[in-house]
A and B are shown apart, each in its own frame.
Chain A
Amino acid sequence: MATHWSQELHRLLRRQNIRQVSFVPDAGHTALIRLCEADDQLRAVRLTTEEEGVALAVGAWLGGDKSVLLMQSSGVGNCINMLSMLTVCQIPLTMLVTMRGDWAEFNPWQVPMGHAAQPVLEEMGVLVNRADREEDIVPLAEGALRIAYNTLRPTAVLIGQRLLGAKTFDN
């Protein structure tokens, strides 16, 4: 079986010297969260809401640590005001966002925030790339990390629902 993209993402985080990985869980991030929790070279921080992860990244960077925030697209809305700090203070952060309310969505309540996730991030000054093919995830994440930490700004990679597989409630 081919290497799962989560394993390649985890290796990328190691290579890029990421020290804190914070997350509100999403199904699409399950494997990566498990790999990060098992890795004693980085700190996995479970959050109660995604905006804590933005604030955590500010503290991490003040202390010299690079960090990454994992979330589902609905969490983007929870982050809006806190994202102000990253642009005002020129603090880097890369967010890896698994999409809901996207291709073949089943739940109507997921659609508004999924639809708005990319423009909301861009309005708040975040550079956004979108992966709709599995082979694009790791190169786009690497580019997002490099831009974030070389040019001191927030970046995000949206991981499309068509790639992840749309959630259903079929038994």
Chain B
Amino acid sequence: MPANGSSDKTSRLERRTVVRALLADRGALLVVAGLGAPAWDATDAGDHPLTFPLWGGMGGATAIGLGLALAQPDRRVLVLTGDGELLMGMGSLATAGVQRPRNLAVVVLDNEHYGETGMQPSHTAFGVDLAAAAKACGFPSSAMITTMDQIAALRENIHRAEGPLFAQIKIAAGKLPLVLPPRDGAHLKNRFREALLGPEAHAQR
């Protein structure tokens, strides 16, 4: 089966334009950015203490977002990740679907390729429909997104809609200049906890 994708590739959305729009005026939003390009995109939109960019743990982004959403039910949590990363942890859609956290959004930037390893096509290039999988796993709201108008509505939903919500955004494939976040994991964790929890971050309980 050829890797022919599911829509006209010449009109695909540009990933950093999408991420900047999704993270505009982010307010109190908590963000987990999956390893590879989504972490660089989130950094391009503005490095932030309440973004936890992943340098490893492939397949874990959705479960990290779930643990965070359960711990912080009054805050909105956005998992921003790639198609390859989500494909490695598809079971976590079922796990999150069963927990049904109202404050969790999982957004996949789907370029249909493994961008960090040489642009090999991923399963989504052959028609695997992640939005349908999320729906089948119990996400009440799940959409395939191809236009910037839909991005504006998605940004609203990430902040306000009752979750868990899922979106698969078809974006253009292609290498962009690296915009790297700090890479010391303990630093990334500490700054996130300090920004979220204040002095409690270092209290023993």
Instruction: Give chain A's interface residues, CB within 8 Å of chain B.
Output: 17, 19-20, 43, 45-49, 51-67, 81-82, 84-85, 88-91, 149-150
Taking chain B's interface residues, is the majority helix, strand, or loop, or is none over half, making it mixed? helix
User: What residues of B have a CB within 8 angstroms of the CB of A46 in the complex?
Assistant: 95, 98
- C-alpha spacing A57/B189, complex, angstroms: 12
Q: What residue of chain A has the Cβ atom nearest to residue B183's Cβ? A: A88
B197 at the interface (CB under 8 A from A): yes
Complex: A150 Cα to B204 Cα, angstroms: 7
Whether the Cβ atoms of B59 and A48 lie closer than 8 Å is no
How many contacts between A and B, using CB within 8 angstroms? 125
Residues in B whose Cβ lies below 8 Å from that of A63: 30, 67-72, 196
Asked if B67 contacts A64 (CB within 8 A), the reply is no
Contact assessment for B58 and A59 in the assembled complex, using a CB-CB cutoff below 8 Å:
no
Contacts of A59 in B (CB 8 A): 32, 63-71
Whole-angstrom distance between the alpha carbons of A149 and B92 in the complex? Answer: 25
Q: How far is the CA of A85 from the CA of B71 in the complex (A)?
A: 19
Q: How far, in angstroms, from A62 to B91 measured CA to CA in the complex?
A: 22
What would 14 A/B residue contacts be, using CB atoms closer than 8 Å?
A45-B70, A51-B89, A55-B63, A55-B67, A56-B63, A56-B64, A59-B63, A59-B64, A59-B68, A59-B70, A60-B68, A62-B52, A63-B30, A65-B70
Option from B60, B92, B205 in Cβ contact (under 8 Å) with A66: B205
Q: A55-B57, A63-B69, A85-B60 are in contact. List 10 more A-B contacts (CB 8 A).
A: A45-B70, A55-B61, A55-B92, A58-B60, A59-B63, A82-B60, A84-B56, A89-B188, A91-B189, A149-B204
Residue B166 interfacial (CB < 8 Å): no
Instruction: Check if B186 is an interface residue, CB within 8 A of chain A.
Output: yes
The contact string, 1 if C-beta is below 8 Å from chain A, for chain B 78-117, is 0000000000010110110011000000000000000000
B92 near A48 (CB under 8 angstroms)?
Answer: yes
Residues of A with C-beta under 8 A to B68: 59-60, 62-63
B95 touches A64 (CB 8 A): no
* Residues of the A chain whose Cβ atoms lie less than 8 Å from the Cβ of B92: 48, 52, 55
Q: Tell me the complex Cα distance, A66–B203, Å.
A: 12
Contact of B72 (CB < 8 Å), options: A43, A64, A81, A82: A64
Q: Is B46 an interface residue (CB 8 A)?
A: no
- Out of A43, A54, A55, A82, name the residue touching B70 (CB < 8 Å): A43
- Residues on the A chain within 8 Å of B72, using CB: 63-64
**B62 contact set on A, CB distance < 8 A:** 55
Q: Which of A20, A51, A58, A88 has the most CB of B within 10 A?
A: A58
Query: How distant is A90 from chain B, measured CB to nearest CB, in Å?
Result: 5
* A43→B115 CA distance, assembly (Å): 36
**In the complex, are the beta carbons of A90 and B185 less than 8 A apart?**
yes
Residues from 182 to 205 in B contacting A, C-beta threshold 8 Å: 185-186, 188-189, 192-193, 196-197, 200-201, 204-205
Set of chain A residues within 8 Å of B58, measured between Cβ atoms: 81
Q: Which residues of B contact A53 (CB under 8 A)?
A: 63
